[in-house]
């Protein structure tokens, strides 16, 4: 069995890997918070969160940690297409999880499903990156530690997606990013601990790129993208801090409003019939003398 070293450069690579993981997760949580409160451009913010968490927080952390990985007596090179595929996988699965849970009425069921998909995808990213590593040694894995690393990835993904829904405020976001960084690094080094190398019959790999030849440009590109996301987050403030959405156990559909029943007709008060008042003819009789010796009778109304 060949000796494997995970910290060939001391604590520089794990500390730098953790720092990049926390940075990516912090930016991702900030983007998710803006997408959660945005009336327009929600999809763009969630895509930015997927790039920050999946790209910088997970994939860049993974390969920075790989800079310190060496096998005594064996050369290591990396397959470029598989390495790029692992990066795309990390961003896509995190994006799927974000779009599944970030909705007006998130449910516990959707959170668990999204976290499982994202966690299995992150584990696939990790072992795809390890498969992209070509070496003259024969590499084997301990099944128990591999399963444990996948469980850590799923749990970490569920917690991370829950943070994107519930974290509010800068200090709480920083604390959540620190926890997410620990989970991502824990998953990576648990998976790396499952490796065993033996002297193989493989010759020295000639195809692929060495660690620094591959990672230097990729880390440079990811750093530029991270800075662009950071600038976008800095220039965009959350205008309205609305109340966080309530987490339901299952989906609840709002009942359709039923048509209002017509109000019963209101009985109009019947005006009392007023009996016509008896009309009396008040006639006044007066007698006037007409000068002819007669007193005619005249009726005056």
Tell me, what's the pLDDT at 120? 93
Task: Quick: pLDDT tens for 250-270.
Answer: 655 554 555 555 656 655 555
| CA–CA gap between residue 157 and residue 114 (Å, rounded) | 8
Tell me, what's the pLDDT at 240? 47
Rounded alpha-carbon distances, angstroms, from residue 202 to 70, 163, 194, 254, 281: 17, 45, 21, 63, 137
Confidence of residue 144 (pLDDT cuts 50, 70, 90): very high
| Chain length of the chain | 301
Q: 31 near 45, Cβ under 8 Å? A: yes
The fraction of the chain above a pLDDT of 90, given in percent, is 27
The fraction of the chain above a pLDDT of 70, given in percent, is 72
Q: Which of 87-96, 179-188, 193-202, 248-257 has the lowest mean pLDDT?
A: 248-257
Q: 15 near 86, Cβ under 8 Å? A: no
Q: 126 near 91, Cβ under 8 Å? A: no
Closest to 24 (Cα-Cα) out of 181, 158, 135, 152:
181
What average pLDDT does the structure give for the chain? 78
Q: Which of 149-158, 166-175, 205-214 has the lowest mean pLDDT?
A: 205-214
With 60 as the cut, is the pLDDT of residue 286 above it?
A: no
DSSP-assigned states of every residue in the chain:
-B-EES-TTTTHHHHHHHHHHHHHHHHHHHHHHHHHH-SS-HHHHHHHHHIIIIIIIIIIHHHHHHTT-EETT--EEE-HHHHHHHHHHHHHHHHHHHHHH-SSS-BHHHHHHHHHHHHHHHHHHHHHHHHTEEESEEEEE-HHHHHHHHHHHHHHHHHHHHHHHH--SHHHHHHHHHHHHHHHHHHHHHHHHTEEEEE-S-----SSB-HHHHHHHHHHHHHHHHHHHHHHHHH---S--PPPPPPBSS--PPPPPPPPPPPPPPPPPPPPPPPPPPP----EEEE---SSS---EEEE-
Question: Is the pTM for the entire model greater than 0.85?
Answer: no
The token pair that represents 289 in the structure block: 């003398």
The answer for residues whose C-beta is within 8 angstroms of residue 280's C-beta and 6 or more apart is none
Stretch 164-186: mean pLDDT: 89
The answer for residues whose C-beta is within 8 angstroms of residue 94's C-beta and 6 or more apart is 28, 49, 50, 53, 54, 58, 118, 121, 122, 157
Task: Quick: pLDDT tens for 74-130.
Answer: 778 888 888 889 989 999 999 999 999 988 778 888 999 999 999 999 999 999 988
Q: 6 near 68, Cβ under 8 Å? A: yes
With 60 as the cut, is the pLDDT of residue 66 above it?
A: yes
Confidence of residue 36 (pLDDT cuts 50, 70, 90): confident
Tell me, what's the pLDDT at 277? 52
Stretch 24-52: mean pLDDT: 86
Highest mean pLDDT among 10-14, 195-199, 288-292: 10-14
| CA–CA gap between residue 226 and residue 245 (Å, rounded) | 28
More confident residue, 37 or 68: 68
With 80 as the cut, is the pLDDT of residue 131 above it?
A: yes
Tell me, what's the pLDDT at 220? 76
* Residue in this structure with the two tokens 């440009």, named with its chain if needed: 217
Q: 100 near 36, Cβ under 8 Å? A: no
* Phi, psi (degrees; rounded to nearest 5) at 71: -120, 125
């Amino acid at each position: 069995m060949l000796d494997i070293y995970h910290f060939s450069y001391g604590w520089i690579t794990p500390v730098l890997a953790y720092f990049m993981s926390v940075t990516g997760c912090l930016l991702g949580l900030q983007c998710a918070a803006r997408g959660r409160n945005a009336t327009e451009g929600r999809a763009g913010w969630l895509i930015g969160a997927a790039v920050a968490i999946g790209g910088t927080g997970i994939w860049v952390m993974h390969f920075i940690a790989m800079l310190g990985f060496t096998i005594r007596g064996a050369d290591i090179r990396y397959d470029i297409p598989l390495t790029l595929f692992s990066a795309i996988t990390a961003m896509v699965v995190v994006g799927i999880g974000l779009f599944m849970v970030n909705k007006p009425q998130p449910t516990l069921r959707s959170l668990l499903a999204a976290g499982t998909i994202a966690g299995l995808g992150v584990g696939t990213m990790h072992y795809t990156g390890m498969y992209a590593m070509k070496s003259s040694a024969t590499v084997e894995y301990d099944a128990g530690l591999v399963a444990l690393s996948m469980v850590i990835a799923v749990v970490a993904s569920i917690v991370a997606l829950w943070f994107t829904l519930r974290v509010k405020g800068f200090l709480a976001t920083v604390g959540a990013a620190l926890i997410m960084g620990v989970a991502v690094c824990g998953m990576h080094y648990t998976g790396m601990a499952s490796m065993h190398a033996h002297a193989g019959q493989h010759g020295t790999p000639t195809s692929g790129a060495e660690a620094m030849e591959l990672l230097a440009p990729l880390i440079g590109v990811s750093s530029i993208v991270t800075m662009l996301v950071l600038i976008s987050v800095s220039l965009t403030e959350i205008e309205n801090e609305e109340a966080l959405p309530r987490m339901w156990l299952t989906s609840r559909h709002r009942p359709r409003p039923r048509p209002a029943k017509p109000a019963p007709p209101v009985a109009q008060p019947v005006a009392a019939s007023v009996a016509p008042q008896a009309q009396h003819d008040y006639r006044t009789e007066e007698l006037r003398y007409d000068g002819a010796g007669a007193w005619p009778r005249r009726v005056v109304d």
